[in-house]
Structure 1
Amino acid sequence: MSNKEEKPDEKQSSWKDFIYNPRTGEFIGRTASSWALIFLFYLVFYGCLAGMFSLTMWVMLQTLDDYTPKYRDRVANPGLVIRPKSMDIGFNRTIPQQYDRYVKHLESFLQQYNDTVQEKNELCMVGEYFNQDDAAEKKVCQFKRSLLRQCSGLADTTFGYAEGQPCVLVKMNRVIGLKPRGDPYINCTAKRETPLQMQYFPAEGRFDKMYFPYYGKKAHPNYVQPLVAVKLLLTKQDYNSELTIECKVEGSDLRNNDERDKFLGRVTFRVNVSE
């Protein structure tokens, strides 16, 4: 019976000795010198790993350009997008609350195109590329919102939504170094048997060459894309029915018929106006 009673004390003593053994000076089974050697080994080991990683990152960064991405494998041709930022534009023209969000979005988007802001930019030569190979920070050609005329939101603050003839802004995505050949312009059509009347601003919906090329966000921080405003001249016969509108960039070498990418050089949206 006495031997059985001594076993718990022996077990407790063995655990204490494992944590710290005063006879051998060991802590968790190792002496201080042993722990020092292990700590030194891992310090050198992980230091070498950190050094190799830092060297690899430094070598890789030397191959990068601060202004142009090394690999641009997305698309060489721009996609088209619209503002307001909605593929389904639907509202009752007699209820301002229904189209107010579209108006606010357009007004907010066009703030950077205000004439007072754009007058600080350069007056460029129409029809010529604005090449700037030497300048560290590239200059920007003026694009005033007043060029959008009836779709500028200046004379008509509702952008035509109150009268049931809404304006839609079309712009190309930015592609560094892009110089579209020919004379690119926007052409929109309604997917139905009878054509839909539209107005384009600037005239004929053209993207002038002076807004190209784009040099990237760091070199071209104040760059603004050229816009084409499309005013849909809807009539009462067009109300209360969904219209599918497709806009394409035409007149240049830019692609607009890739079935794998529905937004490459084109954009499709729907409009439904009621009264």
Structure 2
Amino acid sequence: MAGGKAKISSKSKSHPTKGKGFGNFIYDSEEGTCFGRTAASWIKIIIFYIIFYSCLAGFFCLNYYIFSKTLNEDSPKWKLDQSIIGTNPGVGFRPMPDQDANAESTLIWYQEGVESDAKFWWNQLSVMLKHNILPEGTPGTKICNDQGETATDSAACLVQYSDRSYCTETNKYGYQPSGKPCVLIKLNKIFGWTPQPFGVNNDDKFDPVLLQNDLEDKVKNDEMPGTLRDHIWKEVNKSSNAVNTLKTVWLSCSGESVGDKENLPEGHITYEPERKIPGYYFPYKNQKNYRSPFVMVNFDIPKTSRHLLINIECRAWAKNIKYDRVFRLGSVHFELMVD
């Protein structure tokens, strides 16, 4: 060949894995490597990643520690107007339909006289009341009343509910065997919120003229039922402490439309134990063993309205509760249907 040099075929070039199988890749005794790396190389890379992830974990812990120091475990940093929740409590109801089957449904529907059908509904109320009603003497709780015993930063008011009421476990909350279902109405918790009463002036004194104006304004502009207005006056007139009586959240439930009101007249709706959530339960301050107060509303559906879907709206009333049906502010909607 030219120049006396032999032509070297590319096929004769060596390759590190040429002729070696996967077993040699795992451990190559000739090269002294394991998975392509020598022992020294493995030690270096292991030390590198130990240092790297230790620094990463340390950085995370440091940030978590600094962030945790800005928070208070007993109260939120942003409250009321400064928070996303705001100052308008939402209204909730129980029992609720199976949310796994239909998360958007608010229909309470069962067949009268069929226990297996009604049990799904009244069993929810039974479980919730057992959770909410604690025995007297429970740590972090106290018995409150309209005479001045109210919740404090360290003690919540015990939720009390009389067994003499109709909406009880003994009566299966009206679902069985009758068609008089009970629905539990409650307010969602807002830290530090208290209801602003009607008829109480800036000096925290009862003013009958102010109460008259406040209630008439609600009747005229916010569709407060006249029966609720009369009920408030009745409660004030029989009370020995009008200010404490008025410091409350009043409730009203009715059919949502004219047709719904005809199918379920207001006289067929009753409230237990009272038509209000007393103000002594407020404010919520994350007290130990705090339980949400509630009102049981009994709907005595007339025989002529069976097999009909009735839209129900329940509203909470206080001077600082805003109402908007579209955005469900200060109210809750659900449907009742008894076959």
Q: Provide TM-score, normalisation by structure 2.
A: 0.64
Match of residue 271, structure 2, among 186, 200, 204: 200
- Number of residue pairs matched by the alignment: 259
Structure-to-structure mapping, 1:152-231, within 5 angstroms: 152-154=168-170, 156-159=171-174, 161-182=176-197, 183-193=248-258, 194=262, 195-197=265-267, 198-203=269-274, 205-216=275-286, 220-231=287-298
Shift of residue 247 of structure 1? 0.4
Partner of 2:108: 89
Shift of residue 58 of structure 1? 1.2
**CA deviation string 1:20-72 (max 9, x = no partner):** 575x8677776655554444444333333222222111111111111123354
The percent of aligned pairs where both chains have the same amino acid is 26
Structure-to-structure mapping, 1:52-201, within 5 angstroms: 52-71=59-78, 72-86=83-97, 87-114=106-133, 117-118=135-136, 120=138, 121-126=141-146, 130-133=150-153, 138-146=154-162, 149-154=165-170, 156-159=171-174, 161-182=176-197, 183-193=248-258, 194=262, 195-197=265-267, 198-201=269-272
Partner of 2:304: 237
Distance 1:119 1:185, change over 3 A: farther
Distance 1:102 1:42, change over 3 A: closer
Q: Provide TM-score, normalisation by structure 1.
A: 0.77
Q: State the SS of the aligned residue for 1:11.
A: coil
Distance 1:9 1:237, change over 3 A: closer
CA distance, structure 1, for counterparts of residue 71 and residue 293 of structure 2: 29
Q: State the SS of the aligned residue for 2:135.
A: helix
Q: Would the aligned equivalents of 1:145 and 1:152 in 2 still touch at CA under 8 Å? A: no
Distance 1:192 1:59, change over 3 A: closer
CA distance, structure 2, for counterparts of residue 150 and residue 106 of structure 1: 13
Q: State the SS of the aligned residue for 1:228.
A: strand
Alignment-mate amino acid for residue 11 of structure 1: K
Q: Would the aligned equivalents of 1:140 and 1:223 in 2 still touch at CA under 8 Å? A: yes
The question of 1:271 aligning with 2:271 is answered no
Alignment-mate amino acid for residue 92 of structure 2: V
Q: State the SS of the aligned residue for 2:72.
A: coil
CA distance, structure 2, for counterparts of residue 17 and residue 46 of structure 1: 28
Shift of residue 149 of structure 1? 1.6
Shift of residue 172 of structure 1? 1.0
User: Where does structure 2 lack aligned partners over 5 or more consecutive residues?
Assistant: 1-8, 98-105, 198-247
Shift of residue 139 of structure 1? 2.1
Distance 1:119 1:190, change over 3 A: farther
Q: Would the aligned equivalents of 2:132 and 2:292 in 1 still touch at CA under 8 Å? A: no
Distance 1:145 1:19, change over 3 A: same
Q: Would the aligned equivalents of 1:188 and 1:248 in 2 still touch at CA under 8 Å? A: yes
Shift of residue 91 of structure 1? 2.1
Aligned-pair Cα RMSD in Å: 3.6
Distance 1:99 1:110, change over 3 A: same
Alignment-mate amino acid for residue 142 of structure 2: E
CA distance, structure 2, for counterparts of residue 100 and residue 225 of structure 1: 24
Shift of residue 167 of structure 1? 1.2
**CA deviation string 1:202-260 (max 9, x = no partner):** 23x111111111122xxx2311111111111221222221110000101331223163x
Match of residue 58, structure 2, among 51, 63, 66: 51
